[in-house]
Structure 1
């Protein structure tokens, strides 16, 4: 008895699943591990920048650019912690938390958005930190000492580092989106055998 349309489709799907099972599960490559490392580095840099800005006392928290740096880097640290967990789960099991296309676009868009937020906050705080310790009218009234100025400089530098790690992660997630659009998978296609 010939196969009907529904049975023919089911047989073709079963054959495709059999071939996929014979080939084995697709193991995440080095890109997932690099993405995990970038996420952890962004988490560390942004959390340290937020901690330095938060513990700077009235000399730093009394200034709007450093309150912005604190808020932006705290948000980036929370996002990076979430994404580090998601990348670790992907590296361990090969599956994403959300459906694959949603996860790829979520990662790519949020890496860019939060990266630019970290960059803007660090740039504003850097402009303000440049006048620290110079006896300027703004800082002189608060009494910023050398330790406060050093803390401000390090917080700004860590804010820029958080941006750099997120920018690199955005490049990698952009590559994953491009692979998905080209091949239907977030992994680069295997090299051709001919």
Structure 2
């Protein structure tokens, strides 16, 4: 079975230096950063979905139903990934085999991030008609004026924030994939001063 989760880097260091490798230290910096980004994406996406779900006039419009669905999916994904990041930060190991976990995280961060961006952009265009024009009368009469427009704007802003946190997470996971491809491990190899 191939070595995983940093064991390969430790074995190579032991072979190069001819000394027994020190016990691998957990480098949880990236895992903690990912955990914070995942929790932030979860909070903003869940809040955007909740605002869109409780806004009756907005739910009669297809862009806001799309925003609700996209942000609900992103919230569920972020909850799963937050649990995985917490596990990795606590134990130093990934839930799935290392290569599979890295590619899973990187691919899904991008896919769900683009979905969240598309939903927020379409809903933003629709919410822009809330303040004026012909569509604005329909919004105000159905939902109670400026407060309805403010709720729609808040849902859209939180949807964009959810995308931003997923985009940052995609940058971190992309860096981890690149490091894995270069070194065979998602964490930095131990420095020579560790021996």
TM-score range for the pair, normalised by the shorter chain length? 0.7 to 0.9
Contact 2:94 2:101 in 1 (8 A): yes
Which of 70, 73, 79 is 2:71 aligned to?
Answer: 73
User: Is there any run of 5+ residues in structure 1 with no aligned partner, and where?
Assistant: 1-15
Matched with 2:90 is: 92
Q: For 1:93-112, what aligned pairs fall within 5 Å after superposition?
A: 93-112=91-110
Residues 23, 192 of structure 1: CA spacing in aligned structure 2 closer, same or farther, 3 A cutoff? closer
Q: CA deviation at 1:139?
A: 3.9
CA-to-aligned-CA distance 1:108-134 (integer Å, 9 cap, x gap): 000000000000000000011111031
Task: Give 1:30 deviation, angstroms.
Answer: 1.2
Q: CA deviation at 1:31?
A: 1.2
Give unmatched runs, 5+ long, in structure 2: 1-10
| TM-score normalised per structure 2 | 0.84
Say if 1:28 and 1:90, in contact at 8 Å, map to a contact too.
no
Q: Partner residue of 2:182? A: 182
Report the CA distance between 1:29 and its aligned residue.
2.7
**How far is 1:192 from its partner?**
5.0
SS state at 1:96 partner: coil
After superposition, the CA RMSD in angstroms is: 1.9
Aligned partner of 1:132 in structure 2 is 130
Asked whether the equivalents of residues 104 and 177 of structure 1 are also in contact (C-alpha less than 8 Å), the reply is yes
8 Å contact kept, 1:108–1:170: yes
Is the aligned partner of 1:38 residue 2:37? yes
Say which structure, 1 or 2, has more relative contact order (CA 8 Å, 6+ apart).
2
How many pairs does the alignment contain? 175
- State the structure with more CA Rg: 1
Q: Secondary structure at the match of 2:130?
A: coil
> Residues of 1 paired with 2:118 and 2:175: CA distance?
24
